Amino acid sequence: MTTLISELTKRLPDRWLAGALGPGLLWLVLAVVAGALGHGRPFDTRRVADLAQRAGELINRRPAEAVVLGALGIAAALLMSALARVFGSAARAVWHGRWRGPAAPAGRWWAGVRARRAARSLTRAGTTLPKAYLPTTPTWIGDRLQLADTRVDAQYGLSLALVWPRLWQVLDADTRALVQQARARVDLASTLAGWSVCVLALSALWWPAAVAGVVLLVASWQRARTAADVFAATVESTVDVHHRALATALGFSLVEGEPLSPEAADAINDQLDKGATPQPR
């Protein structure tokens, strides 16, 4: 136990610095620079150098005041990190196609537009797909995540929403780590989008911040697409490899080398849903 606590103590500061304090302090420095430069002289390096010199003199001549300002800066940095995560959660909801409230009608309309476009593209290519495989959400990321559910149901007849929490219990540590890493990439992309909003807010003081904020936003969107694709593929592959172990753990006898039968899949869904799953006629 002592060794475990010691190891956690070593790792927690690194994660804290990388995930919250570091980006917050970087934003705070950028905010100070933006306030000092303004729109008139956006690239005046001499003014930035003077600002750094005054900060150094403050530390040397009035260390107590510097400590107080440093503590306030850390508090502000942590506050901005929390705010960036809030903005990131909102961006993640939009990217995942969870459009609520007044945006819901627009989301349904755009999802229909995307589905019709996909159907026309398939028709021109002479290809057909089941309707369930066509876009169902207003965003590409939402469709990619939804496709994981659809493909698991099409292949095995299993409901991913029901199976996944139980499947997690039978996974080994290495597989869990792979899934967690894939999910962490999704969260990091959305947090980057949150920081892009915070940087864009500084454009009111310093116009180059608008360029930096847009670049961060585009980068976060690209990273989010890649991360969502990797996460969905990781979830699907986990179900592919371990669904038989789950069925066995639930008490179902499977024939070696034979795929999961539709009857067994229906029984598993019904058991996990505690009898609430409608039975096929």
The model's pLDDT over 33-54, given as tens digits with 9 standing for 90+, comes to: 998 888 888 887 888 888 888 8
Confidence at residue 2, expressed as pLDDT on a 0 to 100 scale:
36
CA angle (129 as vertex; 269, 162 as ends), nearest 5:
15
The model's pLDDT over 78-90, given as tens digits with 9 standing for 90+, comes to: 899 999 999 999 9
Burial of 120 (0-12, 13-18, 19+ CB in 10 A): exposed
Name the pTM for this structure: 0.84
Which letter, b or e, does each residue of 6-39 get, where b requires 16 or more Cβ atoms within 10 Å of its Cβ?
A: eeeeeeeeeeeeeebeebbbebbebbebbeebee
Residues of the chain above pLDDT 70, percent: 91
- Look over the chain and give the mean of its residue pLDDT values, rounded to a whole number: 87
Most confident of 3-12, 53-62, 202-211: 202-211
Which letter, b or e, does each residue of 192-205 get, where b requires 16 or more Cβ atoms within 10 Å of its Cβ?
A: bbbbbbbbbbbbeb
Contacts 24+ apart (CB under 8 A), 169-173: 169/249, 170/242, 170/245, 170/246, 170/249, 171/238, 171/242
SS3 97: coil
The model's pLDDT over 204-253, given as tens digits with 9 standing for 90+, comes to: 999 999 999 999 999 999 999 999 999 999 999 999 999 999 999 998 88
CA angle (143 as vertex; 166, 101 as ends), nearest 5:
95
Q: Residue 51: enclosing H or E segment and its boundaries?
A: helix 45-61
The model's pLDDT over 178-210, given as tens digits with 9 standing for 90+, comes to: 999 999 999 999 999 999 999 999 999 999 999
Burial of 135 (0-12, 13-18, 19+ CB in 10 A): buried
User: Of 56 and 145, which is predicted with more confidence?
Assistant: 145
